[in-house]
Structure 1
């Protein structure tokens, strides 16, 4: 199926119509944030599910009930997806936990006024591309790649869901008031998950002792997350997400793009990246 059949265009980016209805987008536009809300922000396939496992465990002080009772999409819901409006989010106690794939330019008026805390997760775009390529191939609500090269062009030019990785990351890095934003990368979390958990807990103003931090880190390593049916998307019907084609939680590693991209594709990617990011001063963990 084509983009016209599966996607709607919202604020200049493609969104899968199956997950993002007009009613759900209106709900997000009118949503009332609180200053102590914690919003995980990612470009798709950048460590979203991982953070949806870590952050609730920090808030609960390591109590595993937080990830054993609710599926990922209900424990830390996407505000722009259709389920948000039926979860009674207004009644949830503070600090509420949310996630969004929105660009900064897409954030609603209440967010800009209240300025809740944001955890912005970044990942090497080559690995984002690789993960996306497999993900698009196993879902029924996204346009399947015809070839890898064709999908690469779509990815680099922002012709996929949630638009350009480059626009997304530059928009969030260029926020004037960064006091309430924590920037962290997938690569940092892979390198030292315990340290990442400790830093996130500090940002959330949720002091934890070293034993609890270790417990959370142990629970959130990839092989353990992959076993959690409330996190590995095995509850999603096969008609929407066919994990016989590719697992949702696939490898959880850094640098898998080297197994995916051809030499020519990697060089093409590098040239595109250098041009798009030439004025960005941020030091990325993958550089």
Structure 2
């Protein structure tokens, strides 16, 4: 790679990816490794809103909530434009950094990059950042099924293989523990809102209320109810503007698996063996020790 600090790894990838890359301690696909410079020097704005997470943490749910809050409950546009068109995926190939650069304010931007790899000038512009974290057991199960779903990956490994990669920090955007810890350490910054998926599942109306306050919006209880109703999991799963069904139409994913799969806390109990559970618990106990960050894996 031409970019200083990017290391190409020779790993058994169990899928179509020819290579993965390591940069500043994290694993990335080639399309991210090729544009580290552009990411570092992307110009952010004070009125941007960033939704950041490790993959499969409830990002899509939070995106729709943030969109409705910042758009003054523009359900009409939400019903006409896909979530991907309304909230671009920052580091992805589509729609691309140039498109995002040219977007009018107020931009909402999604990213799975760790906090340390967000654009450099975020430290100066201090846009609002909503970070969503999810317990690692449900994260790894959801991420495994996501890899199986995507035709561009066609992951051929087993759940055992995937859990091993997750724990070893060899999945894309891994290591998970560092990703969540970086955000957790910034949770008291005025421009950072750290929320757990499990808390969203327990009391979404309280989370909507807190996020709206963080974003400088004052919502009535009726408006909070409307957002909570619109963003119910089953409704989003059946909504062609938020369920990523367009990925199927474009041949990006298979037709058997839903992008929004179950949306529950504790589904890992149906998928993981005891050996997986012990290994993940060991990882959590070692990596998150002393941080104060604790996850509920059932509610």
Of 20, 28, 41, the match for 2:39:
28
Quote the offset at 1:143 in angstroms.
6.0
Quote the offset at 1:74 in angstroms.
1.9
Question: What is the number of residues matched between the two proteins?
Answer: 283
Quote the offset at 1:229 in angstroms.
0.8
Given the alignment of the two structures, is residue 13 of structure 1 paired with residue 26 of structure 2, yes or no? yes
Unaligned runs of 5+ in 1: none
Bigger drift between 246-255 and 229-238 goes to: 229-238
**2: CA distance between counterparts of 1:129 and 1:176?**
23
Quote the offset at 1:100 in angstroms.
0.9
Of 185, 196, 209, the match for 1:198:
209
Relative to structure 1, the CA distance from residue 57 to residue 275 in structure 2 (aligned partners, 3 Å threshold; closer, same or farther) is same
Of 66, 76, 99, the match for 1:87:
99
Q: Where does residue 65 of structure 1 map in the other structure? A: 76
Q: Where does residue 229 of structure 1 map in the other structure? A: 240
**Taking structure 1 as the reference length, what is the TM-score of the superposition?**
0.91
Quote the offset at 1:177 in angstroms.
6.1
Quote the offset at 1:4 in angstroms.
5.8
**2: CA distance between counterparts of 1:166 and 1:47?**
17
Aligned alpha-carbon RMSD (Å)? 2.1
Of 153, 156, 180, the match for 1:142:
153
Bigger drift between 43-52 and 276-285 goes to: 276-285
Q: Where does residue 125 of structure 2 map in the other structure? A: 114
Do 1:197 and 1:213's aligned partners in 2 also have CA atoms closer than 8 Å? yes
Quote the offset at 1:279 in angstroms.
2.0
Of 125, 135, 138, the match for 1:127:
138
Q: Where does residue 165 of structure 2 map in the other structure? A: 154
**2: CA distance between counterparts of 1:157 and 1:209?**
46
Bigger drift between 215-224 and 227-236 goes to: 227-236
**Taking structure 2 as the reference length, what is the TM-score of the superposition?**
0.87
Q: Where does residue 115 of structure 2 map in the other structure? A: 104
Quote the offset at 1:90 in angstroms.
3.4
Given the alignment of the two structures, is residue 46 of structure 1 paired with residue 60 of structure 2, yes or no? no
Given the alignment of the two structures, is residue 266 of structure 1 paired with residue 277 of structure 2, yes or no? yes
Matched residue SS, 1:87: helix
Quote the offset at 1:8 in angstroms.
4.0
Of 207, 212, 223, the match for 2:218:
207
**2: CA distance between counterparts of 1:139 and 1:36?**
33
Quote the offset at 1:35 in angstroms.
1.6
